[in-house]
Structure formats: structure tokens, C-alpha cells
Structure 1
Amino acid sequence: MKQEAALQPPLTKSGLENPTRRTLLLGSAGAMAAVSLLGFSPLAKADEPKSLPDYAAWKERNALIVHSANTMETERGAIGNGVITPSDRLFVRNNLPAPPASITDDPDAWEVHIEGVKNPRNLTVGELKKMGVTTVASVLQCSGNGRAFFPHGASGTQWSVGAAGCVMWTGVPLKDVVEALGGPVDGAKYITSSGGESLPDGLDPKTIIVERSVPTRAMSSAILAWEMNDEPLTHTHGGPLRMVVPGYYGVNNVKYVKNVALSENQTDAKIQVSGYRVRDVGVKGATDQPSMWEMNVKSWVTSPLEDGRSGRTMIYGVAFGGTVALKKVDVSVDGGKTWKQARFLGPDLGPYAWRPFVLAADLPAGEHRVVSKASDVDGNTQPEGRTENERGYGHNGWSDHGVTVTLS
């Protein structure tokens, strides 16, 4: 689409303009406090890469774009061609500073309160491990992944494509826990999870707490997870215990989960009432707007990202359907004028996981706009353009997510 093509910035390995031009958006005193508490300085020179904050120091720095102390994005070229994203390359997004790292010293002692069931009680992680176990592969994606492509300058971290990864979660199915506690109370319509971060003094807890409600239809797949990628869940990613809702945007996968309630109504926390709502540009968030729950079908190219030689070229990428299994991925090397179907790589790890794909193409010298378009088994297909909205949420348009390479 010519109009959209005109909006494309010069691309780097991340698929965006030079990351040193990105703005660190700290819109409140609370955000500044978060930076300070994490021991991270946003005042580095523009041409100097930001260091990793202490709680994420074990990550592979060269694979990450550090936007702030709370936000680290996986480089497009570091996503790779495998089904599972290595933990040290997985993006990081925190709404609040993490609790002390010491909470993972004895993970089995961590307690979560379960209410909205016939027999509410506290359960330790050690007790949860005796109630059942399952492992599920699921895409973890921030609601604002792709925000950087919105021309109106949506506020928030300017994610390109790297606020997403596919990981293996191990934990107890939430439905097993609910059944063991007598089942849900009558009238339960939502699962509400509360995070265990320490809240700053002097603020109304409901204005800052990470507390999210999802429909009870998510009960069939939700788990309370204590492992990620076959290792104990790190403090960085929500350990000792995290609510995982496969197929749902990352904000609903509450870290350091301390309370789970089956409730008739959604939480009245700000992050639910007005936050993570899809609304027109310039409109404030409200409860009558769609909430960022199930993810939509999406894909993007991960290679090639740099100029090279003409001839046989292997085009790689990743695709997923949210809560719906994928059917196919089509790839175009001429900006969407013509398409060829790619083939999936590796094993199919279920409807919530992503599928790496590849297409072999013979490309002549010149400039090529490489884009991908995924379709799921329910007939949903990525649109060409974006759905304009205030916060730049849920972007799955194939045009913006492409890359331009010049071959000689």
C-alpha cells in the first residue's frame, strides 16, 4: 500500500530506524522511581548502549534492545529459527519494579491465596506441585508489540517485533486447583490474578497494582507456572510463581502471583478498568472498550535483514495464531503483489506456540520488500494495515512488519 510504504523508516536489524532515536517514555514519578529502584540510569549518551539492570544481568546483552530498566526487546535477528526462545534472549516487560530477588531462594515456600472457590485457602508452590502438573508451549507477547509502527506516536515503549517469544511453561493446571478446592462459587465469570510486587507508599494501590481479570473461558488452559524452559522460573520473569494464560497477551500472565480469585466482576484496578483497552486515538480508556485478552494471528520475517548478494535466498520468520492453530503462512518478496506459501519448520507444539517458517526464493539484484501473512484454521488472516488506536495495541498488519533488503 503506497501510503503505508511512505511511512516506513530506514530499517536496521530490528526492522526500525536507528534505535538511538527512540525515546525513553517515563510519564510519571512512579516510572522514574521504578528506574531508580532497579539501579538503571536512563541518562546514557545516545551513542552508548544501555547496560542491563541487575535483575536481568544474566541476559544475553547483544540479543536485546534495552529501552528502559523495565523494558528489553529481543532483536529481530536474534529471534532465530527455533520453536523455543532461549530464556536469555526473551524480552522483558515489567509494569512495576520486581520484588526482591530473594523470593526465589526458597520457591516452594511462596504462597498464593485462592478465593472464589468453595474452600478458599493459601497454597504454597510446594503444595501446588502435588496437585498436578502440565507443560505447555505458548507465545508470550506484549500488547504493544509493533507499537513503533504507528505514525501517531503512541505512548509507551516503542516495540518493533521483539516484545514476543515462545517458551515452555510447566506448572499445575488452574482447573485442577479449583476442582481440588471444591469448584468455583456460583456466578464466577472472571479469573482475577494479583501480582506480588511491593507497591510504593502514598499511592492508592488500585491505581498501580498489577491485577488482571480474564474470562473464565481461559480456565481450560491457564496454569500456575513454576518453570520456564525446563528451569525454575526466574525472578526476572515472575518467579517463583506466575499465572500463565496461553494465547492471551502478556499483561494477563501476572508475575509473582499472590492472589487468584474467581469473581463475578472484573477487578476495579486501573490496569483493568482503563488500561490495556483498545480505543480510538485521543480517547481515554473505559470499561466499554475491548480489553487486551486473546491475541490475534500474526507473523513476521526474521531473516534476511541485511543487504546481500542476489540469488538463492532463504527467508525465515515466525507465526502464531493466538488461541487458534495456524493453517499456513504466505510470503511475498514484492511488497504483497504476489505470494508463495512457506513451509513450517520444526515440531508443532500446539495451538499456543509459534511456528517458524521458511521459503526458498531466487531473488535478482535490486530492492525487495519481504513480508509474510499468516492464516489460522478458523479462517482469520493478517490484514495488510494496522488498526489505529491510542496505545498502539494488537498490531498484526503484515505491511508494517516487513523488511526491505537490497541485493547486488
Structure 2
Amino acid sequence: MPQHPTRRDAPTLSRRQILIGGAGTLASVSLLGLTPLARGQDALPIPDFIKWKRTDALIVHSNKTMETRRGAIGTGVVTPSDILFVRNNLPTPPETIVADRDAWEVAFSGVTAPRSMTLGELKTLGVETVATVLQCSGNGRAFFPHGASGSQWSVGAAGCVIWTGVPMREVIRALGGPESGAQYLTSTGGEELPEGLDEKSVVVERSVPLDAMEQALLAYEMNGEPLPLTHGGPLRMVIPGYYGVNNVKYVKHVALTRTQSDAKIQASGYRVRPVGEKGAPKQPSMWAMNVKSWITGPLDTAPAGRNLIHGVAFGGTESLHGVEVSLDNGENWRAAPFIGPDLGPFAWRPFVLAADLSAGEYRMVSRATDAKGNSQPRERPDNERGYGHNGWEDHGVTVTVS
């Protein structure tokens, strides 16, 4: 089996260290650890809409994409909002849309009694809270050798979030149920679209199989607080177990449809296709997430003796069965117990393995298995856009023990 070049994550650096560290500091940081600076670009400015976040815990890829540093994830069951990654397809709407949250209006169609409802009205229909992994489809793209286009995410385009909102199934029930023949739940974002472009080429509109409606939420709170504008406030569609692109921000229209949306982001975007091929509607869409895990510490060095090797694992739409850790790149495996509370099938589970390590170099990898017996493969699923990477080998870390 071919071996792939070893990739290391950078040590966690404070923002002050990054700014004053000089050339020596920058040269020591891996491409995956600090992408913009390590590639010789100027330090990217922190956009206003994320200045409330802990920027020392984020890698800024662009003005719309920020990745959580691997070391910042640690052993947390829930990812704090101020270190959660950011991925926006369009410019963030103005703060005015969250000035009166309950006045936000959503149009519903494809139901027996179509109508528009304000968030205030929706809140009277029911409330649920669910913990889910929010993950970008391209999380792990940086490991693909063919140079897939898009943000070069390592592992930090993911987090575990607690959402509170209105159950979508209750909304549809209140509107008389689906129209005959409905097969998809289609959500449209409320961002302002650039002028002079075909609306369908830029609008964020995603369709998912209708059965996802049973778990879907119209979420207005995140981690116990009003949903930030940065992450889709005042209202966001949340599809537990599905990749982030399906969790449409600033949701303005929800339709039950016979066919998938013809918007570019659905018709040809976020499609799994062979390297070199263009996107097309017949290719698999980035819907349900697959089983995945990675180590969050130690990442680079460790002292000889007793060490706790920790990480996170999740099953996508399935609950987890277990996770294993190898210290020799998959030659030998040991079961790693979960730690912390189980927040349900869509959440991630932190794990830890206690190991006595002597001096030397270790290639540490993890491999999760879901309740249906699906385990992470060794290698990545090669595809044009670098989607759905859950191969365990690339996600490992090389740790020097001394």
C-alpha cells in the first residue's frame, strides 16, 4: 500500500506569538498549522463579523473561512462558539437582521397550507435541543495530493454544537403536511445576492431527502445563546448528521419539493466526482456525513512516561460503537474509552488512551467505527473537490517523545 508524506500540525500559538515571532517562528509552522503565513502571504486581517471570536484559536484562510486549530479542540464535548470554525459562501448580511429576531420571516411552500411565518410565530409550535457535529464538506481537503481547490482545511472545519429551535416536522404538520409527491426538503438562504449575476449561480439553496425533516430544526439558539449573525442568525436550518452546506444560514424560504434545487450549489456544486471531472446532478451529493475521528493531542512533542492521547470521533447520522488508537501508524490498535457525556447520535465523543511512552518518534492515528459496523478506511476517498475525507492515515500526527 503506498505511503503518503507525513503531515504535522503546528503547535498552538497565541496571536501575540504569531505577530512578534519573526521569520524563525513562521518558518517552523507547518502548512497545515498556519496556512496563510506559512505560504509567505501577509497576515490576513480579522473580518469585523468574527472579531468576537478567540482569533488565537483560529487559522484565517480568507475573509469568509476560518478554521479551528487542532490543539484548541482538546477534549471538549461541546465546541465553544468563540472558537468554532466559520465557512460562508456569500458575504455576511448586516447586523440589522438580528435587531428584532422574532420579526424574521420565513416563507413555506410545498405544503397543504403555504404561508409565511415570523420567528416569533414559529416559536409557538414547539422547541427541541440537539447536539450535532457541524462539519464543512471539505474538512481534510489539505491532505489531498492533487491540490483540490478551495480552503485548505486540515481537521478544524468541524465542531460539536448544541442547537435549540423549532422542529421542522412540527412546522410542516401545522401547515397541513407535505403536498403529494414531495421528495426533498429545500432551504434557501436570505443573503443579499450580488447584482448582475444569475441568481441561481450564487444563491445558497440546498435540497436534502425529505426524511431528514424528522430531525431537522429551524435553529435560533447555538450553545445556549441567540444564534450569532456569524453562524446564520437569526435563523438557520440544521440537518443533524449532514454536512454543513445543508445547514442553510439566514433561512428565508423552506419548500417541500419533488426535485432537487436547480441552483448551482446543488446541481453541480458539492458533488463527489472523479479528479478532473465537472460537477453534475447525477453525482452523489454531500449529504450525510461518514464516520470519522482524529487526535487532538499531543500534536508535536511529549515527555517520556505516562501520556494521555486524546481526540474526537463521530458517526455522522449513526451513533458510535467505538474508537481505536494506534501509536505505530496502524500496525497495532488499542481501544480508547470515551470520556464525558453522550449527547446523542449526532454529537461527537471525545476519547482518551493512556499510554506509557519511551523516547522516540510515534505516528499516532485513530480509527472510529459506528453502530452499523462502518469503520474509517486507511486512505482518503480521492475526488475532485477534496470532499468527505475520513481516511485515518492522513489525519494522524507524528509526535516526538523525549
Give the TM interval when normalised to the shorter protein.
over 0.9
Q: Report if the CA contact (8 A) 1:20-1:46 is conserved.
A: no
The 1:131–1:10 alpha-carbon spacing in structure 2 relative to 1, beyond 3 Å, is closer
In the other structure, the counterpart of 2:264 is 270
Q: Normalized against structure 1, the TM-score is what?
A: 0.92
> What is the percentage of aligned positions where both structures have the same residue?
65
Mind listing any 5+ residue stretches in structure 2 that lack a counterpart?
A: 13-28
Q: Structure 2 residue aligned with 1:65, among 59, 65, 75?
A: 59
Query: Greater CA deviation, 48-57 or 235-244?
Result: 48-57
In the other structure, the counterpart of 2:10 is 12
CA RMSD of aligned residues (A): 1.6
How far apart are 1:82 and its partner, in Å?
A: 1.6
Specify the code of the residue in structure 1 equivalent to 2:290: N
Counterpart Cα distance in 2 of 1:400 and 1:201: 41
Counterpart Cα distance in 1 of 2:145 and 2:39: 26
How far apart are 1:52 and its partner, in Å?
A: 1.6
In the other structure, the counterpart of 2:19 is none
Q: Structure 1 residue aligned with 2:222, among 221, 224, 228?
A: 228
1:211 lines up with 2:205 in the alignment: yes
How far apart are 1:254 and its partner, in Å?
A: 0.1
In the other structure, the counterpart of 2:196 is 202
The 1:323–1:164 alpha-carbon spacing in structure 2 relative to 1, beyond 3 Å, is same
The 1:59–1:152 alpha-carbon spacing in structure 2 relative to 1, beyond 3 Å, is same
Specify the code of the residue in structure 1 equivalent to 2:63: A
Q: Report if the CA contact (8 A) 1:20-1:47 is conserved.
A: no
How many equivalent pairs are there?
Answer: 386
Counterpart Cα distance in 1 of 2:101 and 2:39: 39
Specify the code of the residue in structure 2 equivalent to 1:12: A
How far apart are 1:11 and its partner, in Å?
A: 3.8
Specify the code of the residue in structure 1 equivalent to 2:198: D
In the other structure, the counterpart of 1:187 is 181
Specify the code of the residue in structure 2 equivalent to 1:230: G
Q: Report if the CA contact (8 A) 1:386-1:396 is conserved.
A: yes
Report the 3-state secondary structure (helix = DSSP H, G, I; strand = E; otherwise coil) of the residue aligned with 1:358. Answer: strand
Q: Report if the CA contact (8 A) 2:11-2:33 is conserved.
A: no
Mind listing any 5+ residue stretches in structure 1 that lack a counterpart?
A: 25-43
How far apart are 1:307 and its partner, in Å?
A: 1.1
Counterpart Cα distance in 2 of 1:406 and 1:20: 17
Counterpart Cα distance in 1 of 2:210 and 2:256: 8
1:254 lines up with 2:245 in the alignment: no
Specify the code of the residue in structure 2 equivalent to 1:17: S
Q: Structure 1 residue aligned with 2:400, among 375, 382, 406?
A: 406
Counterparts in 2 of 1:1-400, with a 5 A limit? Answer: 3-5=2-4, 7-13=5-11, 17-18=30-31, 22=35, 46=40, 49-400=43-394
How far apart are 1:101 and its partner, in Å?
A: 1.4
Report the 3-state secondary structure (helix = DSSP H, G, I; strand = E; otherwise coil) of the residue aligned with 1:12. Answer: coil
Q: Report if the CA contact (8 A) 1:146-1:159 is conserved.
A: yes
The 1:151–1:395 alpha-carbon spacing in structure 2 relative to 1, beyond 3 Å, is same
How far apart are 1:269 and its partner, in Å?
A: 0.2
How far apart are 1:47 and its partner, in Å?
A: 6.7
The 1:23–1:275 alpha-carbon spacing in structure 2 relative to 1, beyond 3 Å, is farther
How far apart are 1:51 and its partner, in Å?
A: 3.0
